[in-house]
Structure 1
Amino acid sequence: MSPITRRAAVLGCVAVTVALSGCAAVTPSKSGANGDVVLRVQGMPPATDKPGLALFKKQVSDFEKANPGIKVQGSTTVFDPLTFSAKLAGGSVEDVIKVPLTEPQRLIQQKQVQPITGQLKAWDHFKEFNPQVLKPLSDSAGDVYGVPQNPYAQGLVYNRELFEKAGLDPDKPPTTWDEVRAAAKAISEKTGKAGFVQESKENQGGWQLTMLSYAFGGDLQTQQGGKYTATFTGEATQKALGLLKDMRWKDDSLGKNLLNNQNDVIKNFAAGQVGMFMGSPGTYRLAKMQFSMENTDAFGVAPLPQAGGNATLTGGDIYMVPKSADTQRAAAAVKWLTFAYAQPQYSTDAAAQQAKALSADPKSAVGVPTLPVFDAARQAQINAAIKPYVNVKLDHFKPYIDGLSKLDLKPEPPYQAQQLYTALDTVVQAVLTKRDADIPSLLAAAEKDVNAKLAAAQK
């Protein structure tokens, strides 16, 4: 993928959900008592996210005033890779669904979601969307099937305070994985904390191995003749795992807790127990709000270090309309997507209003960088509009903002990525827990298993 040369947007995240918890079944849509269309939408923040939930409720109120006859019912349902497909196939999902960037291509190919190009084109600013952002949400004919929210690119999150205690310069974070290894060892030896932590369970080990492979110049999936194939055994992926193995068994710099999901890592990072991990700037908000990080000044983030590649993984939340939504609700759904997600990322007035509302809560985080959904000129205007309400130390995000434009942005594997991640979880876990783990054999077995499943799915 060609590099995106735009600078990262300096816009506060409205709501970021990380935990992959279970999805409750929903009943079919019904019309309201007055004949209103009742639109059920995923993406409502949980009660623990007070500023995000307050903003969501205001959006619903404003939307209903602007669209008489439509009533919005918010849902806190979050994506669960173990149950999502069955619920979607059975039609027991909301009228607007929220999925990670791993899912759109599979859902499009399996015709489980609806194209929304026609309705989106009615919006005045449709042509100003960043084409790189829409590409993973489109089919081969160019039809668009979703709207993104808070797209991100992975980087290296680090604790500036632990860097200082280890004799490292927090304003000059590692740019290569050799430097990461050296810094992790120094942090571990001089502070007693985990120098670097690798996620390893609930599909997040495979997800993080993917971004690490990108940094080493590799790919985990290829496409030929319209068919997707897993490619786990490449040299880049073997080197990436070799690095983790050395850091675990030679340096002892990965800490004592080796089986972690993302929430585990962020919780320990917020408590000052982790020196570095792979994450996005949005981690700041989670550490502060969800895990009560007191010393937020210790938060730092840099572009993903490289080791032979020149890429970082990009992702984000995608809102789509399932096939189960009838014509009336599908039209209402696109109105909601434009109003709630596209417009706030384009309109300076909407962005400023959201930033002002969020900044009123001391636990909020306004100004955390995301990737631009529209062009650089528009993003500069957004940045200026929210500047009075920014309440994070932008200097601590500067390495990330300055360095991101130098990297290629690569999406997650486009077809059934969760299948890949499940298989790679076991590989990562073996490398972290078994000194004699045979990396080539582990990758070969995982590749064979996944390719059998992909072949069956693509018949």
Structure 2
Amino acid sequence: MSPRSFLAAALAFSFLTTGCVAGTTGASESSASDQPFEGEVEFWTINLKKNYSAYIDGLIAAYQKQHPKVTVNWVDVPGTESATKLLAAVASGDVPDAVNVNSIELGRFVPSLEPLDAYFGTAELADFQPNLVEPLRTGGKLYAVPWYNGGAPVAMYRKSVMGKVGFDPEKPPTSYDEALALADKVHDQAKVHGFNALPDHNTLRYYGIELISADKKKAAFNTPDALAVLEKFKKSYDAEGIAPGAVSKDTRNLPQTLDNGQIAFKATANAAELLNLQKNAPDVYQDLAVTPPVRMKEGGYLLLAQQAFAIPRASKQKKAAAEFIKYFTNGVNQLAFCKIVPIYPSTVSSAKDPFFTDVTGSDPMSVARSVIVKGLPELKYVPIGTAKDAELGELLSEEVRAFITGTKTAKEALDTAEKRWNDALA
């Protein structure tokens, strides 16, 4: 998917079917030390050629000039076909040498990927933000290196509505409990729904609730604390602090949104939503106060996904692929990409550039950039860590919707979700 699509869809789960990818072993494997730094490197990205050819072609040309023995063959794969094509490549043994992978999908491909520790040592990883590198390890081994992400979340408040309830943008809610209380207050006093979110597996994380056992074999979220979270959201939903359309399964097209003026705020959101508001609802955009979002119980913010690069185990050009990935993802090149598309880097040096640190202006996008950059060091990417993360998330959401609409009690919803998780993990 394109960087802009990636940002806009950051709260959505992968559309892909689940299942592990078998590893590829045999004569095609070789170690870091016995491969020449030359030859053709097949390099895959996801849906970038249409809008960003000049940037990527420029990087490839510059790299090949520096390394005349290396030819980089760039293959851009449509977003809807990226996993299918990689699955087919792994099955056939004819794999790309460097491949762009969405972190949500990384777990299912790990068995067919090359551990990168022999290619990316401490020095090579020094400029990457550690909080983005560590989640890409499985069993102590590094299977991908980070590229770009949607940045830290922000919060958005409609000043024309929030002014009626004495809201101070310098003191926004710092927890979901505070956001729920504010939502109820907004509906009581301003007769506008507060926000449109229901608790999902990521919300439970914000409350400090573990989702899965350490061995990744059992659900761990069915606790009194989780039941209490569901009850809090149900109470706000019944009081219309949470908009009625929040129970819709299609979270990208909810009936009540900031765009149509039927909710007052979003306590945590991806900044890319501001681009849509600026284009489709300019009056709402100009009415927004952008602030830091709610925080996790232990502090920091949850990053829902990041784009990364991996090397298939069957590649015959692992060393050359690793060297090109180092170049492609270095701080200078990530900064250049961030200047042409609203994404955020995984490198510390990029985030320290004046482009991010010397942000001026009071418009929502400018304020959002400042909020995001300050939040980057506090980002936490904590996937469920299975090959079925997307499926598990939706299974829990289905049961939460059943509870919110009155079909089940909170206990019944959590009991059913727990069983469905355990069945899927078995």
TM over 0.5: yes
Superposed CA offset, 1:103-134 (max 9, x none): 434532xx12222333444x964333333321
Unmatched 5+ stretches in structure 2: 18-38
Structure 2 letter corresponding to 1:296: Y
Alignment pair present for 1:338 and 2:326:
yes
* Equivalent residue, structure 1, for 2:56: 59
In the alignment, the residues of structure 2 paired with residue 84 and residue 438 of structure 1 have an alpha-carbon distance, to the nearest angstrom, of: 42
Any conservation in 2 of the 1:37–1:71 contact (CA below 8 Å)? yes
How far does residue 408 in structure 1 lie from its aligned partner after superposition? 8.1
In the alignment, the residues of structure 2 paired with residue 326 and residue 389 of structure 1 have an alpha-carbon distance, to the nearest angstrom, of: 46
* Equivalent residue, structure 2, for 1:43: 46
Distance 1:144 1:112, change over 3 A: closer
In the alignment, the residues of structure 2 paired with residue 256 and residue 331 of structure 1 have an alpha-carbon distance, to the nearest angstrom, of: 51
In the alignment, the residues of structure 1 paired with residue 403 and residue 185 of structure 2 have an alpha-carbon distance, to the nearest angstrom, of: 22
In the alignment, the residues of structure 1 paired with residue 196 and residue 268 of structure 2 have an alpha-carbon distance, to the nearest angstrom, of: 11
Superposed CA offset, 1:330-355 (max 9, x none): 55544453333x21xx22xx466445
Alignment pair present for 1:256 and 2:245:
yes
* Equivalent residue, structure 2, for 1:104: 106
Structure 1 letter corresponding to 2:61: E
* Equivalent residue, structure 2, for 1:210: 201
* Equivalent residue, structure 2, for 1:7: none
User: How does the TM-score come out when normalised to structure 1?
Assistant: 0.69
Residue correspondences, number: 391
Residues 385-394 or 276-285, more deviating: 385-394
* Equivalent residue, structure 1, for 2:114: 114
How far does residue 429 in structure 1 lie from its aligned partner after superposition? 1.5
Match of 2:73 among 71, 75, 95: 71
* Equivalent residue, structure 2, for 1:195: 194
Alignment pair present for 1:170 and 2:159:
no
Distance 1:80 1:446, change over 3 A: farther
In the alignment, the residues of structure 2 paired with residue 273 and residue 105 of structure 1 have an alpha-carbon distance, to the nearest angstrom, of: 38
Any conservation in 1 of the 2:245–2:254 contact (CA below 8 Å)? no
Q: Identity rate of aligned residues, in percent?
A: 16
Distance 1:449 1:395, change over 3 A: closer
Distance 1:444 1:88, change over 3 A: farther
How far does residue 321 in structure 1 lie from its aligned partner after superposition? 3.3
Any conservation in 2 of the 1:153–1:409 contact (CA below 8 Å)? no
How far does residue 398 in structure 1 lie from its aligned partner after superposition? 5.7
How far does residue 285 in structure 1 lie from its aligned partner after superposition? 5.2
In the alignment, the residues of structure 2 paired with residue 243 and residue 44 of structure 1 have an alpha-carbon distance, to the nearest angstrom, of: 41
Unmatched 5+ stretches in structure 1: 1-12, 24-35, 48-52, 200-207, 359-363
Structure 1 letter corresponding to 2:78: T
Superposed CA offset, 1:314-372 (max 9, x none): 333232436375313x55544453333x21xx22xx4664455x3xxxxx65xx7x5x7
Residues 65-74 or 419-428, more deviating: 65-74
How far does residue 86 in structure 1 lie from its aligned partner after superposition? 6.0
What secondary structure sits across from 2:118 in the alignment?
helix
* Equivalent residue, structure 2, for 1:300: 290
Any conservation in 1 of the 2:129–2:346 contact (CA below 8 Å)? yes
* Equivalent residue, structure 2, for 1:417: 389
In the alignment, the residues of structure 1 paired with residue 46 and residue 256 of structure 2 have an alpha-carbon distance, to the nearest angstrom, of: 23
Alignment of 1:120-199 (within 5 A): 120-121=120-121, 125-150=124-149, 152-154=151-153, 156-189=155-188, 192-198=191-197
Any conservation in 1 of the 2:158–2:284 contact (CA below 8 Å)? no
Distance 1:381 1:401, change over 3 A: closer
In the alignment, the residues of structure 1 paired with residue 390 and residue 105 of structure 2 have an alpha-carbon distance, to the nearest angstrom, of: 8
Structure 2 letter corresponding to 1:447: E
Residues 258-267 or 168-177, more deviating: 258-267
How far does residue 428 in structure 1 lie from its aligned partner after superposition? 2.0
| Alignment RMSD | 4.1
Any conservation in 1 of the 2:45–2:77 contact (CA below 8 Å)? yes
Structure 2 letter corresponding to 1:431: F
Distance 1:256 1:282, change over 3 A: closer
Structure 1 letter corresponding to 2:395: A
Distance 1:73 1:101, change over 3 A: closer
User: How does the TM-score come out when normalised to structure 2?
Assistant: 0.74
